[in-house]
């Protein structure tokens, strides 16, 4: 495995650089991933040879662009095991997917007094759209509590889901603690209350095999840029019966069937949701990223991340004053490690680590309710991906120890 990640790393030219006189160790993958050369080449080839608007033209370039765009949808469908391409909508990313949904579901499922269930570990993108919906409709937003080591408390999940619950929206993997949630079990619970099950898959799809049918999710959202693809492209998967029930929230070109003076009709799925010129190159780049991920294999990626984390944890645990958030059982998590060192502000820590060439993140990670729940204003976060080697893990630990020495003992 060590050898393989060294090999994979070579496919990412950006990683081969010196930052602050040190070789770059990029550990901010939960924020965004780097892109392999094949993805960059696909974008360039598209613009060099095939660029045209989709679905409208009969000329050769328009046909090429359309078929590449629609083939990309088929690649996504296969990757997440959706039943048909009609169930795969291209969006700008997870945030857009969840915002679309919260608006589209508003008129279909929520009445005043109804309940929406999320959890304390959600990203702001999976909190605020529901908060706004709850305010508009005088509905109630309820939070599933967490266990001491950062799992969803399933006992509490059963309590939070009531006969009034109409929407359950939960993250598949936490962007702070890396904990993997039992989505199938949660979907079964939600369905037993006749609620719609929405999943934020932003931190899952890049790191593990995801099968939307096996999970029985009604909707599943994710972003291309966290899985080796370009920014500005994402996906909203929805079961056909749901997508047929809800209305689009954006209107304009591309999504219409017939436009009259006072009324219009929509195209069939999936196009009724895709108003305006889509991110064509983004979809093509995402499909290329998926091809790349598939040649390595999602099981291999997941087990590589877990091996790196298992290698790291005992070393981190030896650092006095260091607290790690999230599950102790390393099989329940991906390559995301949130931590704090007593006496050092995470921002100072991340700045000092950058001086050692190690890119980690510090802050609330768009999870302020989780930070409050953990009684922490902020944490540092290192997030590993397929191209992070064991040597990266060693450099991370070395930089951490040097940083701690620098701040607490004044040594350089």
Q: How far is the CB of 145 from ligand PMP (least distance, A)?
A: 18
* Contact between 362 and ligand PMP per CB under 6 A: no
Enumerate residues 132-161 that contact ligand PMP by CB under 6 A: none
Q: How far is the CB of 351 from ligand PMP (least distance, A)?
A: 21
Name the percent of the chain in helix, strand, coil, to the closest 5.
45, 20, 35
Closest CA to 189 of 200, 180, 181, 197: 197
Active site includes 157?
Answer: no
Determine contact, residues 110/136, Cβ cutoff 8 Å. no
Q: How far is the CB of 204 from ligand PMP (least distance, A)?
A: 8
For residues 338 and 352, which CB has a smaller minimum distance to ligand PMP in the complex? Answer: 338
Enumerate residues 184-223 that contact ligand PMP by CB under 6 A: 200, 202-203, 223
Q: How far apart are CA 372 and CA 197, in angstroms?
A: 26
Enumerate residues 77-116 that contact ligand PMP by CB under 6 A: 93-95
Q: How far apart are CA 100 and CA 251, in angstroms?
A: 12
Q: How far is the CB of 251 from ligand PMP (least distance, A)?
A: 22
Q: How far is the CB of 77 from ligand PMP (least distance, A)?
A: 20
The SS3 assignment for 116 reads: strand
Side-chain half-sphere of 161: how many Cα atoms within 13 Å?
Answer: 25
Structure letter (DSSP) for residue 385: -
Query: What is 213-258 written as a DSSP string?
Result: HHHT-SEEEEESGGGTS-TT-EEEEE-HHHHHHSPPS--STTSEEE
Determine contact, residues 206/235, Cβ cutoff 8 Å. no
Q: How far is the CB of 329 from ligand PMP (least distance, A)?
A: 20
Can you list the positions of beta strands (E) in 120-233? 140-144, 165-171, 196-200, 219-223
How does 317-328 read in b/e, with b if 16+ C-beta sit within 10 Å?
A: eeeeebebbbbe
For residues 50 and 171, which CB has a smaller minimum distance to ligand PMP in the complex? Answer: 171
* Binding residue (CB under 6 A) for ligand PMP from 171, 279, 306, 334: 171
In the block, which residue shows the tokens 């790690």? Answer: 324
For residues 118 and 195, which CB has a smaller minimum distance to ligand PMP in the complex? Answer: 118
For residues 80 and 202, which CB has a smaller minimum distance to ligand PMP in the complex? Answer: 202
Closest CA to 142 of 150, 153, 130: 130
E strand or H helix at 106:
helix 94-109
For residues 170 and 353, which CB has a smaller minimum distance to ligand PMP in the complex? Answer: 170
For residues 86 and 371, which CB has a smaller minimum distance to ligand PMP in the complex? Answer: 371
Determine contact, residues 386/142, Cβ cutoff 8 Å. no
Enumerate residues 118-137 that contact ligand PMP by CB under 6 A: 123, 125-126
For residues 200 and 356, which CB has a smaller minimum distance to ligand PMP in the complex? Answer: 200
Determine contact, residues 255/66, Cβ cutoff 8 Å. no
For residues 75 and 126, which CB has a smaller minimum distance to ligand PMP in the complex? Answer: 126
Give the number of residues in contact with ligand PMP, rule: CB under 6 A. 14
Enumerate residues 363-382 that contact ligand PMP by CB under 6 A: 366
Structure letter (DSSP) for residue 46: I
Catalytic residue selected from 366, 370, 378, 397: 366
Beta bridge partners of 399: none
Residues belonging to the active site: 366
Q: What are the residues binding ligand PMP (CB under 6 A)?
A: 30, 93-95, 123, 125-126, 171, 175, 200, 202-203, 223, 366
């Amino acid at each position: 495995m060590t050898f393989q990640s060294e090999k994979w790393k070579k496919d990412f030219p950006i990683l081969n650089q010196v930052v602050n006189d040190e070789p770059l160790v990029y550990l901010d993958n939960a924020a965004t991933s780097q892109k392999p050369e094949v993805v960059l080449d696909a974008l360039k080839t598209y613009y060099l040879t095939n660029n045209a608007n989709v679905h409208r033209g009969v000329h050769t370039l328009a046909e090429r662009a359309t078929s590449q765009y629609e083939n990309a949808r088929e690649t996504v469908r296969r990757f997440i095991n959706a039943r048909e391409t009609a169930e795969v909508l291209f969006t700008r990313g997870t945030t857009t997917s969840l915002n679309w949904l919260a608006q589209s579901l508003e008129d279909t499922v929520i009445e005043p007094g109804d309940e929406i269930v999320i959890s304390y570990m959600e990203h702001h993108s999976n909190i605020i759209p529901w908060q706004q919906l709850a305010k508009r409709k005088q509905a109630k937003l309820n939070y599933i509590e967490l266990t001491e080591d950062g799992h969803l408390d399933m006992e509490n999940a059963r309590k939070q889901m009531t006969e009034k619950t109409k929407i359950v929206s939960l993250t598949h993997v936490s962007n702070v603690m890396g904990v993997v949630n039992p989505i199938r079990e949660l979907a079964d619970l939600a369905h037993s209350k006749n609620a719609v099950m929405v999943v934020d898959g932003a931190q899952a799809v890049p790191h593990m095999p995801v099968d939307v049918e096996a999970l029985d999710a009604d909707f599943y959202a994710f972003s291309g840029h966290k899985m080796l693809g370009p920014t500005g492209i994402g996906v909203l998967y929805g079961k056909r019966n749901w997508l047929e029930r809800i209305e689009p929230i954006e209107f304009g070109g591309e999504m219409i069937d017939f436009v009259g003076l006072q009324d219009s009709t929509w195209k069939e799925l999936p196009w009724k949701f895709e108003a305006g010129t889509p991110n064509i190159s983004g979809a093509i780049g995402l499909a290329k990223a998926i091809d790349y991920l598939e040649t390595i294999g999602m099981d291999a990626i997941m087990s590589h991340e877990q091996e790196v984390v298992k290698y790291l944890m005992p070393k981190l645990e030896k650092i006095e004053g260091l607290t790690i958030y999230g599950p102790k059982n390393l099989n329940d998590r991906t390559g995301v490690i949130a931590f704090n060192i007593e006496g050092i502000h995470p921002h100072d820590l991340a700045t000092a680590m950058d001086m050692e060439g190690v890119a980690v993140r510090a802050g609330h990670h768009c999870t302020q309710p989780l930070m409050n729940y953990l009684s922490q204003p902020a944490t540092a976060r290192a997030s590993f991906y397929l191209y992070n080697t064991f040597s990266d893990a060693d450099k991370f630990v070395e930089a951490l120890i040097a940083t701690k020495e620098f701040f607490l003992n004044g040594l350089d």
